[in-house]
Amino acid sequence: MAARVVGLGLTVVDHQLVLPRLPGPDQKTTASAASVQVGGPTPTALAQLATLGGPAATLVSTWGADADGQTIEANLTAAGLQFDADLCRTAPRSGFAHVWVEAGTGRRSLAAVRPDGSSLTAERAVRAVDGADALHTDGWPGPAAVAACRAVKAAGGLVSVDLGASEKLEELIALADVLNLPVPAFPRLTQARDPIAGVRALLERGPRLVTVTNGSQGCWFAARLPDGVESGFVPAFPAEAVDTCGAGDAFCGGLLFAVLDGRPPAAAVRFAAAVASLKVRRFGNREALPDRAAVEALLAAHEKTPADS
């Protein structure tokens, strides 16, 4: 797997508290643990890709020349990710998030302040992805992400998009080869009531593999094959969740690894589901990311194929 992978997207520092329960309005509680870690859909997906034994990737993002920026750079280096400091260290301040995780269930609440992405222009993004065999993006910042996707696509590279809450939904759907979105975003993009019909409809708008994740409820997928379309549902692997933060990002990292590894669509989605299941069993955005041996062991222990439709 010698592909040159570039990731473009949001990077923040997560200030995480573990709580006995998520408080409601005007309620107070005491945290049992606290940590500071680096988050963001794209850097976490790239770290997962590297942990699985995939190619070391380059991150294109923005952060500030401040203490949080130093934390980001140290974390990326430790995770084996590359970055151009002159390009990335250009925001007035680094982005950050407050993350509350409920002990026992892994449920989380999150509020974030995004960094200023105006320094990451479309022109700079295109230069940064030049020569990439694969691009993974969460669609932030919108114009730069779209320009980067177009450049990689035009050069014959693979475009992987974790759609989330991007402002450039239609452009990114059309440019994506691999498209993932969480189930809450589904109603905004398709009128289909049946999930399988919905992922098939999204497939017709450009991608060759579409996944819609629904946490512990599993994942729907559709893929274009030489002889037609394959679609189905992959159940989530049973897990006692302790921290669901970053599970979708880890899923995307696992899916990108499996696609680059040449696995068939259903097998690739199942691999990604196993990655997410292992991630939620431990705390942390980096410490909890599983390696390939752990994923393969989980797959072997639950040999089962998804129900096609």
The CATH number for 289's domain is 3.40.1190.20
Rounded Cα gap, residues 206 and 264, in angstroms: 18
CB-neighbour burial class of residue 105 (10 A; exposed 0-12, middle 13-18, buried 19+)? middle
Close Cβ partners of 285 (under 8 Å, ≥ 6 residues apart) = 14, 37, 38, 39, 44, 47, 245, 246
Range of the domain at 59: 5-308
Q: What is the mean pLDDT of the chain?
A: 93
pLDDT at 167: 79
Rounded Cα gap, residues 233 and 214, in angstroms: 11
Q: Is the pLDDT of residue 7 over 60?
A: yes
Q: Is the pLDDT of residue 309 over 60?
A: no
Number of domains present in the structure of the chain: 1
pLDDT at 285: 85
pLDDT at 108: 85
Instruction: Please tell me the pTM assigned to this model.
Output: 0.93
Compute the chain's Rg from CA coordinates.
18
2 pLDDT band, cuts 50/70/90, is low
